[in-house]
Amino acid sequence: MYSISELSDLSGVSTRTLRYYDEIKILMPASRSEMGIRMYDTESVDRLQRILFFKTLGVALKQIKRIMRQPVDEQVQELQRHQKKVTEKIQELNNLNQAISTSIKMMQGEIVMTDTEKFRNFKEQQLAKNEVQFGNEIREKYGENAVKKSNANYLNLTEDQFQKLQEIESDLGTRLKKELEHGGDLKNRTYIFNDHQQWLKVMAGDLYTKEYHHNIGIMYQEDQRFSKYYDDLADQVGAGMLLSEIILENTR
């Protein structure tokens, strides 16, 4: 048996946190000593370990509490699902690392790449970067098959299509900045939506629907990382939220 202070030393979790876990009934002591000190057994240690795994994986405490009420075999399944995501993330990082290594070798003169190969390498770097940043969120919303299809569509873009995307994004950033600085220009808001729609149709291919676009708008609101991307593109705080607002207005 471990006292609360001993379990704190063993796990690195503060006694204050352990008391809070007891209060919310996510990790209760096995017993109490005559002095009223919380005491934890081996099963408590195992349970705490699982809680810490889920916390490290970014699962919210409210969700962890729900998971920990499930039978152990279902908790194992939850961990396996998250383990799969970690494995995918490792692969994505390996892909990004490989693409960067190829670029370094080319820059150092160790290998020679055609312009087509350079272009594909660049796309692979961008795709790997996007996967690391947003892959899990996109998969949760649209599923693995949709993500694979979208990624394949991106890799198959021609240089002309890719250049067009860059131009659309640049125009979108300029128009978002203008709307934030001046506002009230309905024509400009229409152009903003059209730019994003055109960009998304190229990126998503035949996955694009009005509902798909609407859900993208919601996702931009729910995840600040997406909003920040457009804030940076327009060099204006609030650009991402403005874009989301315009998307939702036009996809109801």
Q: Which residue has the higher pLDDT, 103 or 230?
A: 230
Task: State whether 150 and 163 are in the same domain.
Answer: no
Say if CB 230 and CB 203 are below 8 A apart: no
Residues 170, 242 within the same domain: yes
What's the structural domain count of the chain? Answer: 3
User: Is 245 found in the same domain as 167?
Assistant: yes
pLDDT computed for residue 115 by the predictor: 65
Cα–Cα distance, 228 to 58 (Å, whole number): 20
Give DSSP secondary structure letters for 8-74: HHHH---HHHHHHHHHTTSS--SEE-TT--EEE-HHHHHHHHHHHHHHHTT--HHHHHHHHTS-HHH
Q: State whether 62 and 109 are in the same domain.
A: no
CA 99 to CA 94: how far, in whole Å?
A: 9
**Is the distance from CB of 227 to CB of 221 less than 8 angstroms?**
yes
pLDDT digits (tens, 9 = 90+) for 35-57: 899 999 999 999 999 999 888 88
Pair 77, 42 in one domain? no
Instruction: Give the angle 28-33-36 at the CA atoms, nearest 5°.
Output: 75
- Sign of the CA dihedral with 176 first, then 178, 181, and 183 last: negative
Q: Is 138 found in the same domain as 179?
A: no
For 109-139, how does the pLDDT look when each residue is reduced to its tens digit (9 = 90+)?
888 877 667 677 777 777 776 666 666 667 7
Looking at the structure, do residues 142 and 126 belong to the same domain, yes or no?
yes
Domain containing residue 122: 72-154
Of the pLDDT bands very low, low, confident and very high (cuts 50, 70, 90), residue 221 is confident
Residue with tokens 């327009």: 234
Residue-level pLDDT at 133: 62
